Amino acid sequence: MTRQIKFRAKTKANGHWVYGSLIDYGDGMFAIAAKGGGQPWVEKDTIGQYTGL
């Protein structure tokens, strides 16, 4: 049984939480591939693994 690892972080644009797969662009910029589409830029200090609890 394999579980998909998800992350959450606050967006830079409006501070809302987004959930999905973490994308590291390697230059200090991070995004979350959100379920509804799009890849909003996120604040590095707010990134954490999402457990669903």
Residue 34 structural domain: 6-50
Q: What is the pLDDT of residue 38?
A: 82
- Residue 22's CATH number: 2.30.30
Q: What is the pLDDT of residue 1?
A: 63
What pTM value is reported for the model? 0.79
Residue 33 lies in a domain: yes
Residue 15 lies in a domain: yes
Q: What is the pLDDT of residue 51?
A: 78
What CA–CA distance (Å, rounded) separates 47 from 16? 12
Q: For 34-43, what is each residue's pLDDT tens digit?
A: 777 788 999 9
Residue 40 lies in a domain: yes
Provide the number of structural domains found in the chain: 1
Give average pLDDT by consecutive 10-residue segment, the chain, 53 residues. 83 92 92 84 93 74
Residue 17 lies in a domain: yes
Q: How many CB atoms lie within 10 A of CB 24?
A: 11
What CA–CA distance (Å, rounded) separates 8 from 44? 11
Average pLDDT over all residues of the chain: 88
Residue 1 lies in a domain: no
What CA–CA distance (Å, rounded) separates 30 from 23? 6
